Amino acid sequence: MIKYLPQSPEDEDRMVEAAYQDVLQSYLASNHRKKVEIIERAYRFAKEAHKGVRRRSGEPYILHPIAVAKIVISELGLGSTSICAAFLHDVIEDTEYTREDIENNFGKKIADIVDGLTKISGGIFGDKASLQAENFRKLLLSMSTDIRVVLIKMADRLHNMRTLGSMRPEKQYKIAGETLYVYAPLAHRLGLFKIKQELEDLAFKYEHPQKYIDIKEKLSESADHREEMVEKFVKPVREKLDAAGFKYEIKARVKSAYSIFKKMETKKIPFEEIYDVYAVRVIFDNDDDSQEKIRCWQIYTFFTDGHRVHPDRLRDWTSIPKANGYRALHLTAMGPEGKWIEVQIRSRKMDEIAELGYAAHWKYKTGVHEDETELDSWMNTIKDILANPEPNAIDFLDTIKLNLFSSEIYVFTPKGDLITLPSGSTVLDLAFAIHSEVGTHCIAGKINHKLVPLSHRLESGDQVEVITSNTQKPQNEWLDYCHSARARNRLRAILKKDHKLLVERGEQIFNEFMTREAIVPSNELISKILAAHHITSKQDLFAMLANDEINLSPKELHELNTTRRSLMKKLLRNPFSTKKKSDPTKKEPINRKEIYVLHPDAKTPNYRFDTCCSPIPGDDVLGFVDDDENVVLHKVSCDNAMKLKSAYGSRLVATKWGGAAPKFLATISVDGIDRHGILEEIISTMSQKLGINVRGLNIAAKQEVFHCEITVQIDNVETVDRICDTLKKIKGITFAKRIS
C-alpha cells in the first residue's frame, strides 16, 4: 500500500500550487480560447471546499481534482468548461456546497456537468444490484445529454486507477474488475484508445501482478533489438516518403501488456510466439481532406514495393470507419528475421481522432460531421436499452457490454443501404436493426439467393434480404441467436409482454381449477406444487399451465394439500448462496478488510470452488463471501468473476494460499512433430524424471503432427509450469500448456 510522506503545510501548499500551474500551462499551450479567469476561480473554489480533507493515501484531497483536470486538458483535449467541471466534480457530494452554489458562481452548463458527475459519483457500482444498474443508467443518460460528463468520469477513473496502490487489496480487485468490465469497453466505444489501453494495463497490474511484471520485463529485454528491427524495416519507406515530399513521423508501437496477456491466454502460447508485438505507425500531415485517402494508399504502395505483405491482414477503415469513429489503413508486412510487423497509416487528423475519440471530432467539426451519425446511432441504441431496462444488474451490464466492446461488420440491404452490426451478428440481429416489426416476424434470410436460418452468422459484405411472415411469433430460444444489444433488448421486451399475458391466462386456469376442486390455494400449497414439479416461481407455473406444458391432477392436489410436511421450499438463489446446507451454528462473519488465508491442507478446506473455473494452489484467485459466510474461489481472470467483481464489490475478500496443498487434477495440452518413441519419452519424463502421477492420457496423430492431453495429479501451479517447461525440452514437442 502506497503511503504519502507528510510534509509541512507550506511545502504542501507549494506542491498543490505547482500541480495547478501545470494544468494552467497545458491549457495555455492548447488551441482553446483562453478563459483563464473562470478556471482560476474554479480551482480556488474547489481548493477552499476541500480544505483540510485528505485522500486515503494521506495526500491533500485537492490533488485529485487537479490531476483529473490535467487528464481532461492534456489527454482528452477538452476546454475550459470541462476543466472547471473537473476541478469541481466532487464538491457537491463531499462538501456543504450545492448545485445552486455551482450555478450561481460558474453558470448552468458547468453546474449541469458537475451535477451529472455527482449522480454517478459513487462509481457505477454500489453494494446492491439494483443500485448498480441504476447508477449505470444515470451514467448513460448523462452521456446522451452531454458527452463531456462521461469523458470527465473517464479521467476521474483513470486517476483513481493510477493511484490504486493506496487502497486495500479487496478494493483493488473491485475497482480493477469494474474497470475491465465497463470502463475500458466504454473508453473503447468512445474511441479513447490511449485511455482504454492504460486502464486495461493498470487493472491487469493489480489482478495479476507477477504476470504483469514478467511481460514488462520481457518487453524491456527485447526493446533495443525491436527498435533496431523496426528501423531496418522502415528505412526504405523513409526514403520514398522523403522523395515524395511527405511531412511525416514514424512511431514504433509496442503491444500493451494486457493485450499480450489476453492473446497468450486465448491462444495458449508463450510470449515468444506472439508475432504482432511489433507495430509501426506512419502519421502524415495533410491539409486537403479530399487527398487524405489517396495519400494513405500511396504510402501503402511504399511498403508493398519493398516488403512481402500478408494477404489476409489488410484493413481499410478509411472508407468505412469503425463505429467509434476510428479511421486508418492497416497492413501487415514481413520484416527482418521473418517477423510480421503491423503497419498503421494515418493522417494527423485520423491519429488525433484515434487517440482522443469523439472528443477530437469537435476540433474538426464543420457543419454536420460525417462520423456523428455513428455516435448518434450508438446513442439511439443506448436510449433503446434504457427505455426497457433489465431487472437484473448483471443482465443489464451484459446487454450494454454487447454494444461496448464488439468489433463491427458491415452488411447491405437488397437496396444497397449499409448497416453496421457487432461482429458475430445473425440474420435476426439484422432484422431487429431494420425495425422491431421486421425482427418480430422474421423467419429466415436470403444471401446470394440462398436461404439461411435466423441463426446464420453474417459476414462483412453480405447483401441480406430478410424474409418475414405475419404468422411468425418470437420464441425464447431466439435469445441465443441475438448478438447485438438492440436485438436482445427488444426481443426480451416482446417476450416479457407475451409472458405477462400467458401468466394472466394461466392464473385464471389455476383459480378455476381450484374452485372446481374446492381447494383454497394457500402459499404453502403453491410452494408444494412448485417443488413437486421443479418449478422456480408461481409465474412460471401459470405460464406452463397456459401453454399446456403441465397438468395438475385432482388426486395430486388433494395429496399435497393434506400432507403436513412441505416437500421443499426451493426459492431463487442469488449468486452467493452456498450449494451446501447451511451450518446450523451461525458462522462468524469474515473480515473483508484482512487478507483471507486459504488452507488446502485442512481436513475441511476453509473455501470451496465454483463450478465455472478450476483454480489450483498458486493460481491468482480471489474470494467471494456467500450468504452463509463461506468463501467461494474463482480465478481472477474467470468471466464470472469479472462480472461479480463489477457488481458485488462489497463481498470480495483478498486471499493468499497457505499450508501444503493436497493433490489436484490438471490437464496439460501438448503438440509436436510425431516420431517413433515420442509417447514413451513423454511418459518416462513425467513418471520417472519428474515423479508425476499420470491419471489420464489421450493422444492422436494426423500425418506428421500429434496432439496429446495429459491429466496429472499435482499440488500447485508451479509444478504444472515445471512439467510444461520440461516437456518442451523433448525433441519434437513445440507446445505444452495447462488447459484446465
CA 315 to chain centre: 24
Q: Which long-range contacts (CB under 8 A, 24 or more apart) does 675-680 make?
A: 675/731, 675/732, 678/706, 678/730, 678/732, 678/733, 679/708
Backbone torsions φ then ψ of 571, nearest 5 degrees: -95, 160
Residue 698, SS3 per DSSP: strand
Rg (CA), the chain: 30
Q: Which long-range contacts (CB under 8 A, 24 or more apart) does 559-566 make?
A: 560/525, 560/528, 560/529, 560/532, 561/519, 561/525, 563/528, 566/524, 566/527, 566/528, 566/531
Residue of 17, 93, 242, 372 marked catalytic: 93
Residue of 12, 22, 40, 94 marked catalytic: 94
Evaluated on CA atoms 444, 377, 290, 326, the torsion sign reads negative
Place of cell 494460499: 657
CA 436 to chain centre: 28
Is 276 a known active-site residue?
A: no
Q: Nearest-CA neighbor of 196 among 409, 405, 483? A: 405
Q: Nearest-CA neighbor of 406 among 177, 638, 186? A: 186
Q: d(Cα 374, Cα 353) in Å, to the nearest integer?
A: 14
Q: d(Cα 387, Cα 46) in Å, to the nearest integer?
A: 36
* Orientation angle between helical segments 9-28 and 36-49, nearest 10 degrees: 150
Q: Nearest-CA neighbor of 637 among 168, 126, 176? A: 176
Q: d(Cα 635, Cα 305) in Å, to the nearest integer?
A: 48
String of b and e for 590-619 (b: at least 16 CB within 10 Å)? bebeeebebebeeeebebeebeebbbbbbb
Q: d(Cα 324, Cα 378) in Å, to the nearest integer?
A: 9
How long is the chain?
Answer: 740
Is 94 a known active-site residue?
A: yes
Hey, what's the cell of 716?
500447485
Place of cell 496432439: 707
Question: Is residue 420 within 8 Å of 373, Cβ to Cβ?
Answer: no
Cβ count near 174 (within 10 Å): 24
Residue positions annotated with a catalytic role: 93-94
